[in-house]
Amino acid sequence: MAEFTFELNDDQKEVRDWLHGFAADVMRPAAAEWDEREETPWPIIQEAAKLGIYSLDFYAQQFFDPTGLGVPMTMEELFWGDAGIALSIVGTGLAAVGVLANGTEEQIGTWVPQMYGDANDVKVAAFCSSEPDAGSDVASMRTRAVYDEAKDEWVLNGTKTWATNGGIANVHVVVAVVDPELGSKGHASFIVPPHTPGLSQGQKFQKHGIRASHTAEVVLEDVRVPGSCLLGGKDKLDERLARAREKAKAGSGERVKNAAMATFEASRPAVGAMAVGTARAAYEVALDYAKTRVQFGRPIIENQGVAFQLADMATQIDAARLLVWRASWMATAGKPFTKAEGSMSKLYASEVAKTVTAQAIQILGGNGYTREYPVERMHRDAAIYTIFEGTSEIQRMVIGRALGK
């Protein structure tokens, strides 16, 4: 058994420093511009692709890091650079995780590379789960997928919302209802290939934060996809639905995971790492400012009220990172989240990001409230972490249920 350590190894440090350089030299100088433009920063995604950061190979290397720390380390550094640009770079990963969590080897090999493209022709992908009337309440999902046995095709109809890269993606992964009587247990995930008729972009949202990341509705009108686009295959789906029906008849309380939940479970520690990156960025700005801002003849960090705030910020960020690292290590080691440790990491880190960015504004005072300093943008960006991929309220519910078993 390897010796227990919190120290990153030399390879991890090299990757961390490489990512940090990209975040500092490429992302940060462009952050304010793309936030104002509220557009996908294609030139920066392409630059990331040329360097090998935006690529299937890079994320696969981090995903298969035996310590489990490759992905959270990557997320923290990129989101330290800028949350909106970072989400435009890593947003494809949620769709990729959806395929990795539910797809066959053939489906993974066919579709995941098409989600990224290459350095000369970058592509993005979208994971489409939420709906106008079904966000946290996935059992209320209405998008339907009906099997046309004669043509071996699935026909999808419905509207998805809050989809990162929705409508502009090369590949869409869509969660739909295949058996309404089973509620959330009757869901399945489908690949919608490029240029499939019937899929269109609906409303593009103008957001409070993460404005460089494209978020939109995805409208599905008689979208036909081949049977091979059902993630996991029809045999596996039929077996899962049959088990769910038998348990429903028997009145079993055993929970059956659906496709969307499998994706969110796998991604929650990564979202926690995003929040840690944003919190750390705001803390560092506030710390530097407190050391150089002189009031009443001395730097404001020498005032206990400011120093104590910074002490709390540093402690909370470190605690959030440790929860994220623990959950990431557990997932890689195959250890079950018996106390919903993945949700714990996402919950705490998200709340810390909101708190720390607000404290950073307070320390900068009037300057912090202006767009001349980045903490105003970081505070707007941080608000999303307690909302997307499971609100803080949902995380508390998941944790409470786990503790009550």
What is the 3-state secondary structure of 102-151?
Answer: HCCHHHHHHHHHHHHEECCEECCEEEECCECCECCCHHHCCCEEEEECCC
Which one of the listed residues 39, 376, 389, 393 is annotated catalytic? 389
For residue 67 the two structure tokens come to 């310590």
Residue with token string 């409470």: 400
389 is catalytic: yes
Nearest-angstrom CA–CA distance, 95 and 83: 18
Judged on CB neighbours under 10 Å (0-12, 13-18, 19+), 302 is middle
Residue with token string 């903490």: 375
Nearest-angstrom CA–CA distance, 274 and 23: 13
For residue 214 the two structure tokens come to 């494209």
Report the SS3 class of residue 220.
strand
Residue with token string 């947003």: 91
Catalytic positions, please? 389
